[in-house]
């Protein structure tokens, strides 16, 4: 049965992006539409949209409890309807990082049901993503909204549990019109604040996260970010689900990629040689690469601690930015250490070249809800060396990649030593490369799993 699915997110590739959330919203709706469903995506209309987007202004909407009106813009692309809400607080092209982020996204969430009703749309499923949309299920259940939403089923997806959206309850109740009776330990309340992530978890009909292992991990003290108790209850109720992401196979295609241009082992070796020559690396050594944000979650400090030992046998390439201390340390090392290349920032062409040309890809994450880099690297025949956690556990077979148990430099180095030993046997290494490149990371399987969940909720 064809469905009408409404996705709500603070960022959607290519229009707005800070991380993997945007990539999911750039791919999952397209795949669901390709499978024959009606799909609408709604997000804020920031001061500047990516991809040269110029939405057509189609409606002016009044939202109860908000000063002023909001403007709705619309675009159609590849079978998906994209709606954009222009309102106070979103004039900048910057997505986050303002003192009033919680207030901004609460008012965006308040506007969503009225914007959808004004467009005459009647979704059966509302799929909200991450903390910025976390209050939507509560707003729909406990405040006056258009009748369109009386029978809608709500799915809430956790992409990263670290970011939760907390604010004092007095302001939140004033902004939302939610009843004060919801501010208790089984509802909105969280250590004296209202927690938007918790609200989504508690009041949605189903909760998903982006891998089966991460869905288990977040019910534990080590990974639950103080929400493990409520997540355990959701798990016991049968409402918690883990569904692996896919990747954009057109954007990441080694055959058509100008920085790769290969489909087999021989082509991979040619791309490897080109990268090593361009980055002035030793052609006789294997190359391990890291493309990442410099954040504690991603384990950049672990990689830096292990770097001296790694450089005894490997070329090392690191591309990324974030933590200023890590940037300065890596910049200093790159001035003096042979066999090491560091690029500060993100460069799309260089990232593609590194995925294509490296032998191995390093992911020392302390936690990883899903991870996309390991899928991209395997598609390009670059074998992952990764911490055994979350989506990395679910996507990296020991017959292809190399997993290490602890978030520590010694544990990482044991895995890189194992990988080096295999690399010295070209037959064994090429077998793994062929197996990696044959894997299917398309969104079709993931999209179907979400659709199956939607159908169960509507049954």
Q: What would the pLDDT profile of 110-164 be if each residue is shown by its tens digit?
A: 999 999 999 999 999 999 999 999 999 999 999 999 999 989 999 999 998 999 9
Angstrom distance (rounded) from CA 394 to CA 212: 7
Residue 259 belongs to some domain of the structure: no
**Residues 148, 283 share a domain:** no
**Residues 290, 241 share a domain:** no
Measured N-to-C along each axis, helices 409-423 and 300-310 cross at an angle, to the nearest 10 degrees, of 50
Spatial CA neighbour of 48 closest among 7, 17, 76 = 17
pLDDT of residue 20: 83
Torsion-angle region of 294 (φ positive above 0: left; ψ -120 to 50: alpha; else: beta): beta
Spatial CA neighbour of 308 closest among 342, 335, 282, 333 = 333
pLDDT of residue 19: 81
pLDDT bracket for residue 67 (50, 70, 90):
confident
Which tens digits make up the pLDDT trace of 2-47? 999 999 999 999 999 988 899 899 999 999 999 999 999 999 999 9
**Residues 227, 371 share a domain:** no
Q: Is residue 415 over pLDDT 90?
A: yes
Average pLDDT over residues 72-90: 96
**Residues 181, 92 share a domain:** yes
pLDDT of residue 84: 98
pLDDT of residue 359: 98
Residue 257 belongs to some domain of the structure: no
Q: Which residues of 185-200 are buried (b: 16+ CB within 10 A; e: fewer)?
A: eebbbbeebbbbbbbb
In the numeric block, which tokens belong to residue 345? 């920032």
**Residues 82, 47 share a domain:** yes
Residue 128 belongs to some domain of the structure: yes
Residue 431 belongs to some domain of the structure: yes
Residue 251 belongs to some domain of the structure: no
Domain containing residue 234: CATH number: 3.40.50.2000
The overall average pLDDT reported for the chain is: 96
- How many domains does the structure of the chain reveal? 2
**Residues 100, 238 share a domain:** yes
**Residues 272, 242 share a domain:** no
**Residues 224, 273 share a domain:** no
Lookup result for tokens 């939760």: 164
Angstrom distance (rounded) from CA 304 to CA 302: 5
Residue 72 belongs to some domain of the structure: yes
**Residues 74, 195 share a domain:** yes
pLDDT of residue 348: 87
Q: Is residue 255 over pLDDT 90?
A: yes
**Residues 66, 111 share a domain:** yes
Residue 253 belongs to some domain of the structure: no
pLDDT bracket for residue 175 (50, 70, 90):
very high
pTM of the model: 0.91
* Share of residues in the chain with pLDDT > 90 (%): 95
Q: Which domain holds residue 111?
A: 4-246+444-458
Residue 255 belongs to some domain of the structure: no
Average pLDDT over residues 104-111: 98
**Residues 242, 272 share a domain:** no
**Residues 180, 41 share a domain:** yes
Q: Is residue 68 over pLDDT 90?
A: no
Three-class SS state of 270: helix
Paired sense of beta strands 125-129 and 4-8, if any = parallel
Strand partners, 288: 316, 360
Torsion-angle region of 345 (φ positive above 0: left; ψ -120 to 50: alpha; else: beta): left
Angstrom distance (rounded) from CA 402 to CA 84: 43
């Amino acid at each position: 049965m064809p469905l009408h699915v409404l996705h709500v997110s603070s960022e959607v590739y290519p229009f707005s992006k800070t991380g993997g959330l945007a990539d999911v919203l750039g791919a999952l709706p397209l795949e669901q539409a390709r499978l024959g469903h009606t799909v609408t995506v709604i997000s804020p209309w920031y001061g500047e949209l990516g991809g040269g987007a110029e939405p057509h202004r189609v409606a002016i909407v009044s939202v109860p409890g908000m000063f002023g009106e909001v403007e709705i813009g619309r675009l159609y692309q590849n079978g998906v309807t994209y709606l954009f809400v222009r309102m106070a607080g979103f004039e900048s092209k910057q997505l986050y990082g303002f003192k009033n982020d919680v207030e901004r996204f609460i008012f965006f969430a308040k506007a969503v049901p009225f914007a959808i009703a004004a467009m005459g749309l009647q979704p059966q499923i509302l799929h909200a993503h991450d903390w910025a949309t976390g209050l939507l299920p509560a707003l729909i259940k406990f405040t006056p909204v258009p009748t369109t939403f009386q029978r809608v089923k709500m799915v809430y997806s956790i992409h990263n549990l670290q970011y939760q959206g907390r604010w004092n309850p007095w302001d939140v109740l004033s902004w939302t019109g939610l009843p004060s009776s919801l501010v208790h330990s089984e509802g909105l309340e969280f250590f004296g604040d209202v927690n938007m992530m918790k609200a989504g978890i508690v009041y949605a009909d189903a909760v998903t996260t982006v891998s089966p292992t991460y869905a288990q991990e977040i019910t534990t003290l080590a990974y639950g970010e103080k929400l493990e108790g409520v997540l355990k209850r959701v798990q016991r109720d049968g409402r918690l689900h883990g569904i692996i992401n896919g990747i954009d196979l057109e954007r990441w295609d080694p055959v058509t990629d100008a920085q790769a241009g290969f489909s087999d082992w021989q082509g991979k070796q040619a791309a490897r040689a080109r990268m090593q020559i361009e980055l002035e690396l030793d052609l006789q050594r294997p190359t391990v690469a890291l493309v990442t944000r410099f954040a504690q979650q991603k384990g950049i400090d672990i990689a830096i601690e292990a770097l001296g030992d790694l450089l005894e046998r490997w070329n090392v390439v690191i591309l990324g930015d974030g933590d200023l201390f890590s940037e300065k340390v890596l910049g200093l090392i790159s001035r003096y250490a042979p066999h090491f290349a560091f690029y500060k920032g993100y460069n799309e062409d260089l990232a593609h070249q590194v995925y294509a040309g490296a032998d191995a890809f390093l992911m020392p994450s302390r936690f990883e809800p899903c991870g996309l880099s390991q899928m991209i690297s395997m598609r390009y025949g670059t074998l992952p060396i990764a911490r055994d956690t979350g989506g990395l556990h679910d996507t990296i077979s020991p017959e292809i990649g190399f997993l290490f148990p602890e978030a520590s430099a010694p544990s990482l180095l044991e895995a890189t030593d194992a990988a080096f030993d295999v690399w010295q046997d070209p037959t064994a290494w090429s077998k793994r490369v062929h197996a990696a490149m044959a894997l299917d990371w398309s969104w079709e399987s993931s999209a179907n799993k979400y659709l199956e969940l939607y159908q169960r909720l509507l049954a």
